[in-house]
């Protein structure tokens, strides 16, 4: 969410004669911020529908997935907001906005699960401990597909076509890692409601991957 507020100084920028594009982008950023908030609230509401009669435990696959995927999604939301704000290509901006709003809503759902299960947002297990082959998937403390701090720094500094290509490349890798994690809970989890949401997440990310790869090909990346 903090990525949205960094555009406050954009609202104070002087008007230009570029047909109002700066004003349109500012309005779009405000609209996206509102959409992210709505997505989060809807995610919380969706999470409340999960029955609590048989709650997953502290070290369950479901709890580990909810905690780790929240962290994984948070980076995707940050990258998506950057794409919406900094992207040069209209499709890149649209994809970024869609990912930010969609995954923020899913964060709300997963955090609601943890509260309903009477579990803390973070546990004492290392990342990916809930997945049978999870330990080997963690690289330099990062879960599958996640961008490194240096890559995030490069993305923030990039502009124009360079930004668009780097965003697409990083997000494709991020989604591939996310799909692998989702498949882990589908294979090893037991909670029917969690499995239903996870399958929806997987379908969405696979559709995103198709669009991301097509955009990267179109831009010559």
For 106-153, write each residue's pLDDT tens digit. 999 999 999 999 999 999 999 999 999 999 999 999 999 999 999 999
d(CA 5, CA 66): 26
* This prediction's pTM: 0.77
49 burial type by CB count under 10 A (0-12 exposed, 13-18 middle, 19+ buried) = exposed
Question: Which tokens is 115 given?
Answer: 């509260």
Domain locations in the chain?
57-219
- Contact status, residue 197 vs residue 73, Cβ threshold 8 Å: no
Place of tokens 């597909």: 145
Lowest mean pLDDT among 38-52, 62-76, 110-124: 38-52
Q: Which residues contact 215 (CB under 8 A, 6 or more apart)?
A: 89, 91, 92, 95, 164, 168
129 burial type by CB count under 10 A (0-12 exposed, 13-18 middle, 19+ buried) = middle
Q: Quick one: CATH architecture of 57-219?
A: Up-down Bundle (1.20)
26 falls in which pLDDT band (50, 70, 90)?
Answer: low
12 burial type by CB count under 10 A (0-12 exposed, 13-18 middle, 19+ buried) = exposed
pLDDT computed for residue 221 by the predictor: 83
For 159-169, write each residue's pLDDT tens digit. 999 999 999 99
């Amino acid at each position: 969410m903090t990525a949205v507020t960094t555009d406050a100084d954009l609202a104070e920028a002087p008007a230009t004669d570029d047909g109002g594009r700066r004003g349109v982008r500012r309005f779009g950023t405000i609209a996206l911020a509102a959409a992210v908030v709505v997505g989060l609230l809807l995610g919380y509401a969706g999470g409340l529908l999960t029955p609590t009669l048989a709650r997953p435990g502290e070290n369950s696959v479901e709890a580990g997935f909810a905690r780790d995927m929240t962290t994984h999604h948070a980076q995707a939301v940050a990258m998506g907001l950057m794409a919406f704000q900094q992207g040069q290509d209209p499709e890149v901006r649209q994809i970024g906005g869609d990912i930010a709003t969609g995954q923020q809503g899913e964060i709300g759902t997963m955090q609601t699960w943890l509260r309903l299960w009477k579990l803390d947002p973070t546990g004492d297990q290392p990342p990916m401990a809930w997945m049978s082959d999870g330990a080997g998937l963690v690289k330099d403390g990062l879960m599958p597909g996640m961008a490194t701090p240096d890559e995030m720094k490069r993305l923030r500094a990039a502009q124009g076509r360079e930004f668009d290509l780097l965003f697409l490349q990083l997000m494709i890798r991020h989604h591939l890692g996310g799909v692998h994690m989702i498949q882990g809970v589908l294979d090893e989890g037991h909670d029917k409601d969690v499995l239903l949401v996870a399958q929806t997440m997987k379908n969405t990310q696979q559709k995103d991957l198709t669009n991301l790869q097509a955009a990267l090909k179109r831009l010559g990346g």
